[in-house]
Amino acid sequence: MTTRTRMPHPGAPVRHDPRPVMPLPQEARPEARRETEYRPPSPIDVPRALAAHQRGAHDPSHLQRDGVVWRAMRTPLGIATLAVRPDRVRVRAAAWGPGAEWALDQLPRLCGGADDPRGFDAHHHPRVADAHHRHPALRIGRTDLVFDALASAIFEQKVTGLQAFGAWRMILTWCGERAPGPTPRPMFAPPAEWHLIPSWTWHRAGLEPPQSRTVVEASRRRASVERASTAASDGEERERVLTSLRGVGPWTSAETRIRAFGDPDAVSVGDYHLAHQVGYALTGARVDDEGMLELLEPWRGHRQRVIRLLMLGGAFEPRRGPRLAPEDHRSR
C-alpha cells in the first residue's frame, strides 16, 4: 500500500478532535488501495462541494454512505474509485483502480481548494451577505473531467431533472464500467466510448434523439475538446470551444464549466427556473435572463458563487401550479 500525506499549510491551525476517527473502508487486497490526506489552509465545506457533482439521488457514479462520499470516475489514467471522508480540519481519501493516483492528486480541486473567493464582496445585497455570513466556507469544486461534465449537462438539456437523472443512471449502468474497490453498492464510471452506444440503447434510456446525437457527435471530438478547453485561459475562451460543438449552447457550456472547472462566474442562461429564482431572491419578483444578468452584474467574477449562496438562502418563489409533467418520447 502506498500512503501519501499532505502536510498542513504553515498558517493552518491544527486542533485536536475528540471524536473517534472512523476508518476508511478496507479491502480484501490492501495493496490495491492508495491513500492521501488533505488539510485545507482555510475552512472548506467539503460535503457541499462534493454534493454538487451528484446527478440525482441514484447516480451510479456518486454515493454518500456513513460519512464517506464515493465517486466512480474515468480519469486520464483509467478508471478509479475515490472514497472521501471529510472532517473539521482534514480530508482523508482512499482510491482504487488504474486512475487512483490521478484521483488523489486531483482531490484538493474536487473539494474546492482551487476556488479563490478573494475579491468577492457579498454586501451588495443583504440576502447575499446573510447567506455568505452563514456559509463562509462555501467553495466550488471541480472535477477536471471535461467530457463527462459535458455529457451530463447535455443529458439535462430541455428536460426535467427526473428524466435526465434517470437516463444518466441507465446509460452508466448499462454501458459504463464497474468501479473497482469495496463500494457499498455496485457503482459505475461513465463509458469510455460514448459514440459506440447504439441508438436503441439511448432510446431505452429515455434520452431524446437531439441530446443523444449531441453526445455522440461531441464524443468523436472528445480529445480536441478536452485539450482546447483545458488550455483555455478563461471562461470566455472555454465558452467558444464548447459552443463550437453542434447542439451545445450557452446553458450547456456554463454547466460544463461549472462542473469541470469550478468556474465561479458561470451563469446558466436559458435555464427554466434559474432567472425566476434569482429575481425572486433579490427583488421579490420574477425576471428573465437579461434581468438576471443585470442583477448579478455587481458580482461579476463571482456570479456562480452568488447563485449558490442564494440557493442556500432558501428564498424560493412559492409554487403556483403543478410540476411540469415529463414527456416520454419512447411511446411515440
Q: What is the pLDDT of residues 26-38, one digit of tens each?
A: 544 444 899 999 9
How far apart, in whole angstroms, are the C-alpha atoms of residue 257 and residue 243? 12
* Cα-based distances in Å from 2 to 74, 104, 164: 21, 12, 39
How far apart, in whole angstroms, are the C-alpha atoms of residue 211 and residue 319? 29
- Residue 1 is predicted with a pLDDT of 44
- Residue 274 is predicted with a pLDDT of 95
Question: Under DSSP, is residue 230 helix (H, G, I), strand (E, B) or coil?
Answer: helix
Q: Is 59 in contact with 165 (CB distance < 8 Å)?
A: yes
- Name the nearest CA neighbour of 278 among 290, 264, 295: 295
Asked if residue 232 has pLDDT above 90, the reply is yes
Residue 9: band (very low, low, confident or very high) from pLDDT cuts 50, 70, 90: very low
Mean pLDDT of all residues in 309-321? 83
Question: Under DSSP, is residue 43 helix (H, G, I), strand (E, B) or coil?
Answer: coil
Question: Under DSSP, is residue 3 helix (H, G, I), strand (E, B) or coil?
Answer: strand
- Residue 8 is predicted with a pLDDT of 41
Q: Is 252 in contact with 157 (CB distance < 8 Å)?
A: yes
Residue 5 has a CB neighbour count (10 Å cut-off) of: 11
How far apart, in whole angstroms, are the C-alpha atoms of residue 168 and residue 157? 12
How far apart, in whole angstroms, are the C-alpha atoms of residue 288 and residue 111? 32
Positive/negative CA dihedral, 7, 262, 47, 118: positive
The pTM (predicted TM-score) of the whole model is: 0.87
Asked if residue 17 has pLDDT above 50, the reply is no
- Residue 6 is predicted with a pLDDT of 42
- Residue 126 is predicted with a pLDDT of 96
Q: Please, what is the average pLDDT of the chain? A: 90
Q: Is 257 in contact with 193 (CB distance < 8 Å)?
A: no
Q: Which residues are within 8 A (CB) of 20 and not within 5 positions of it... i.e. 6 or more apart?
A: none
Task: Quick: pLDDT tens for 104-124.
Answer: 999 999 999 999 999 999 999
Residue 324: band (very low, low, confident or very high) from pLDDT cuts 50, 70, 90: low
- Residue 317 is predicted with a pLDDT of 81
Mean pLDDT of all residues in 67-74? 97
Grid coordinates representing 237?
475562451
Residue 25: band (very low, low, confident or very high) from pLDDT cuts 50, 70, 90: low
Residue in the structure block whose three cell numbers are 480541486: 109
